[in-house]
Structure 1
Amino acid sequence: MVTSTWARIENATVAEVTNIDPQYRFPPSLVWITCPDGTLPGMQYTDGIFTEKHEAPIDHAAQIASVRYQHETAGITVNAVSIDTTRDSQALITAAALSAVIDPTYLCVWKALNGPVTLTAAQIIEIATAIRAHVQACFDRECQLLKALAEGTYTADMLDHGWPAVQGA
């Protein structure tokens, strides 16, 4: 059951609170607002007392880092091979690239996002290079946004733009 609280507003201040609908109990000149579930915009009602609600400030730096991580790990496509770019996948392709550098005849079957594919040493190095460039571009964009934040020129809509495009799509 949803209960309401009504608050009488006088000079932009809560002057009185009731749990009984005041509609027919008081003169219409008194200003009452309905507060469903005891809430009042910008206020919280606890134990019969309204106090100002303080919203936690947005941690823009953490928000920027989170969006960078989403872009970094979203995957890329290189020459029609869709590659996972999670941190685990980055480590696996780096290890495969090391094997490819050590042995130029190295071949492996890679579990790509669009199905298994046999990769040559040259293809593995190309994919590893593309992933590294993608990841670095994500960190570069994060740094640009953090610089704008420090300089006071950052706006929230900047978070939606400037990230690297998917490689080779």
Structure 2
Amino acid sequence: MYAINGAGFRAISEASDLQAGEVLSLEFPEHLIGPPTTLEGMKLAAKARATQLRWECETGGVSIGDVQVGSTTEDQNRISSVLAAAGLGTVEQVDFKANSGWVTLTLAEIRGIAAAISAHVQACFTAERAHHEAIDAIGNIEELQAYDVAAGWPA
């Protein structure tokens, strides 16, 4: 993931890292400088692709039984809000709009969903880290070109 501005670009980990005047690019900004040709430049591009894939996986949702639940930051915040309200004793069950449709859930089920999303997000970051470390360990362009950054992501 890259932040692009009038002066060039920089690699970022999250869209929230954008600063005023920058736009987000999920792909390496070849249109600004051409494709990378050095091993280090190619490693940066490969790690940016791993970061992009982590973000897509992280925010792509998670299946819990027959329910497909969103896992974006907004989805996580909504679930946290329900759990906070539960702590106040204001709710015992909720109507929940999952990606797969409406369901009525108990607080125990909501807690289970929160735990599943948390585990999913952590697995995504663990996979991204493994890719970054593997890419850093590559010693030549041929090995890097053979490396499959799309493999090994959580389902």
- Name the structure 1 match of 2:62: 76
**Which structure has the greater CA radius of gyration?**
1
* Matched residue, 2:113: 127
State the partner residue of 1:158: 148
* Distance of 1:159 and 1:114 partners within structure 2: 29
Q: Which of 72, 90, 97 is the equivalent residue of 2:83?
A: 97
Give the root-mean-square deviation of aligned CA atoms.
2.2
Q: Deviations over 1:92-116 (max 9, x none)?
A: 1122233345549621111111111
| Structure 1 gap segments, 5+ residues each | 1-53
The Cα shift of 1:80 comes to: 1.4
Structure number with the higher helix fraction is 2
How many correspondences in the alignment? 112
Match of 2:34 among 34, 38, 55: 55
Cα deviation 1:136-160 (Å, max 9, x = unaligned): 0000000000011111177464322
Please, what TM-score do these two structures have when normalized by structure 2?
A: 0.64
Please state how far the C-alpha of 1:69 moved relative to its aligned partner: 0.5
Q: Who is 1:149 aligned against?
A: 135
Deviation, 1:117, is: 0.8
Identity %: 34
CA distance in 2 between counterparts of 1:145 and 1:71 reads 14
Matches of 1:73 and 1:89, distance apart in 2: 9
Does the 8 Å CA contact 2:50/2:150 hold for their aligned counterparts?
Answer: no
- In the other structure, the counterpart of 1:115 is 101
Stretches of structure 2 that go unaligned for 5 or more consecutive residues are 1-32, 37-41
Q: What residue number does 1:13 align with?
A: none
When the two structures are superposed, what TM-score results if normalisation uses the length of structure 1? 0.59
Partners of 1:101 and 1:121 within 8 A in 2: no
Contact residue 104 and residue 122 of structure 1 kept, 8 A: no
Bigger relative contact order, structure 1 or 2 (CA pairs below 8 A, ≥6 apart): 2
Counterpart secondary structure, 1:164: coil
Summarize the Cα distance change of 1:99–1:150 in structure 2 as closer, same or farther, 3 Å threshold: same
Does structure 2 conserve the Cα–Cα contact (< 8 Å) formed by 1:110 and 1:118? yes
**Alpha-carbon separation, structure 1, partners of 2:84 and 2:100:** 24
